[in-house]
């Protein structure tokens, strides 16, 4: 059985289902209660679970730091950071405590938090509302980093994240919240973290893209004269390196697409992994199609900053040209 839902609806329904399944789940954050979240991702939760849903003051470090206490005590905190651009105010709590609690105590304690945060551009928002900092979190050992791209994946990945004993940063692409409806399996449904989705099989070139970029890459692939294999990793940590390598060994060419700035971004890491273990299968240098190394611009220049279908298509053509 499947139901057609928007991504934000899949998130909301999954939160409700996980709260019903596990009474240790506590949802809190700015505006998540009465207002139901600025994107409505938590609408109705407070009515259903008045003692497990809380509006929090504007305090990102506080929201994440409180989760260390809740998680240590035995709850499963699922806080929302209203926009991931403001999670930097809590980065020290993530890096110094959330990610390290298990190592610090040699497994005696853990923090099973899932921190949800809207991510990426495309909604013409204010400054700091559109960044993609997934590489920064991926660079923090002890954190898992997940980005769903479809309503079904939003459900399956969020359920897996909440059930995971390790802390997860769960980035929800704002551009996709209401962009389309997709089939969402009913009942208990999970997608394993670290299992890429081969969106479309192909023989000539491998394209790796996540979040909103997966959909743009798919559109771009339709307009190139080649057989494109599109891989959505779905989680950045753990990353399904094997699926990417197997594909690159088959196609000999690869393009990685992300919204984040180029330098030190995940595309660099993925390229390095390909160089480590599949270099001699490559027919051409791995191409990166990314945001530029500039502060995420205000929305008058946003469309030129974020990789669009045309830039992705040209990236694919570069990979095919050598």
Partner 1 sequence: MPRETAYEHSIDHVQVLSPDGSVDSELAPDLSEDDLLEMYWTMKRSRRLDERAIALQRRGELGTYAPAVGQEAAQVASAHALADEDWMVTSFRETPAYLARGTPPRMLLWYAMGMEEGSATTRESRTMPPSIPVGSQALHGAGLGWAQEIAGEDAASLVYFGDGATSEGDVYEAANLAGVFDAHTVFLCQNNHYAISVPRAQQTRAETLAQKALAAGIEGVQVDGNDALGTYAVVRDALASARDGDPVFVEALTYRRSLHTTSDDPSVYRHEEEEQEWETRDPIARFETYLRDRELLDDDRISDVEASIEDDLRGEIEAANEGREAVDAEEMFDYAFETPIPELERQRAEFRDAVSGGDGDGR
Which spans of this chain sit near partner 1 (rule: CB under 8 A)?
A: 26, 51-52, 54, 56-57, 59, 61-62, 64-75, 92-93, 96-97, 101-110, 141-142, 144, 164-166, 193-194, 237-242, 276-277
Return d(Cα 11, Cα 177) in angstroms, integer.
Answer: 9
Q: How far is the CB of 282 from partner 1 (least distance, A)?
A: 16
Return d(Cα 44, Cα 13) in angstroms, integer.
Answer: 10
Cβ proximity to partner 1, 205 vs 248, nearer residue: 248
Q: How far is the CB of 51 from partner 1 (least distance, A)?
A: 7
Cβ proximity to partner 1, 103 vs 227, nearer residue: 103
Q: Which residues pair with 209 in a beta bridge?
A: 257
- CB atoms closer than 10 angstroms to residue 86: 17
- CB atoms closer than 10 angstroms to residue 126: 10
Cβ proximity to partner 1, 244 vs 306, nearer residue: 244
Q: How far is the CB of 101 from partner 1 (least distance, A)?
A: 8
Tell me if residue 170 falls in helix, strand or coil: strand
One of 88, 92, 128, 129 is an active-site residue; which one? 129
Q: Say how far residue 90 (Cα) sits from the centre of its chain.
A: 18
Active site includes 139? no
Q: How far is the CB of 219 from partner 1 (least distance, A)?
A: 30
Cβ proximity to partner 1, 264 vs 295, nearer residue: 264
Burial category of 248 from C-beta neighbours within 10 Å (exposed 0-12, middle 13-18, buried 19 and up): buried
Distance set, CA 2 to CA 31, 125, 151, 186 (Å): 30, 33, 11, 5
* Residues catalogued as catalytic: 129
């Amino acid at each position: 059985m499947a139901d057609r839902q928007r991504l934000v609806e899949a998130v909301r329904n999954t939160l409700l289902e996980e709260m019903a399944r596990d009474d240790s789940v506590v949802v809190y954050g700015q505006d998540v209660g009465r207002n139901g979240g600025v994107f409505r991702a938590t609408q109705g939760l407070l009515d259903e679970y008045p003692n497990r849903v809380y509006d929090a003051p504007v305090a990102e470090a506080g929201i994440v730091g409180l989760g260390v206490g809740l998680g240590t005590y035995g709850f499963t905190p699922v806080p929302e950071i209203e926009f991931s651009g403001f999670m930097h105010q809590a980065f020290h709590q993530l890096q110094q405590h959330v990610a390290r609690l298990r190592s610090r105590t040699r497994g005696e304690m853990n923090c099973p938090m899932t921190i949800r945060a809207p991510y990426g551009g495309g909604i013409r928002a204010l400054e700091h509302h559109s960044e993609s900092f997934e590489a920064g979190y991926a660079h923090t050992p002890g954190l898992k980093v997940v980005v769903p791209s479809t309503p079904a994946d939003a459900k399956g990945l969020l359920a897996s994240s909440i059930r995971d004993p390790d802390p997860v940063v769960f980035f929800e692409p704002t551009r996709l919240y209401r962009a389309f409806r997709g089939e969402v399996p009913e009942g208990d449904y999970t997608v394993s973290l670290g299992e890429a989705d081969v969106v479309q099989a192909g023989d000539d070139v491998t394209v790796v893209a996540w979040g909103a970029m997966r959909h743009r890459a798919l559109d771009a692939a339709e307009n190139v004269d080649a057989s494109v294999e599109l891989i959505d990793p779905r989680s950045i940590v753990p990353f399904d390196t094997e699926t990417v390598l197997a594909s690159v060994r088959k196609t000999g060419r690869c393009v990685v697409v992300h919204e984040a700035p180029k330098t030190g971004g995940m595309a660099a890491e993925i390229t390095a992994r390909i160089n480590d273990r599949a270099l001699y299968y490559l027919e051409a240098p791995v191409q990166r199609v990314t945001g530029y190394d500039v502060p995420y611009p205000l929305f008058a220049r946003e469309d030129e900053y974020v990789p669009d279908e045309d830039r992705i298509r040209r990236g694919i053509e570069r990979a095919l040209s050598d």
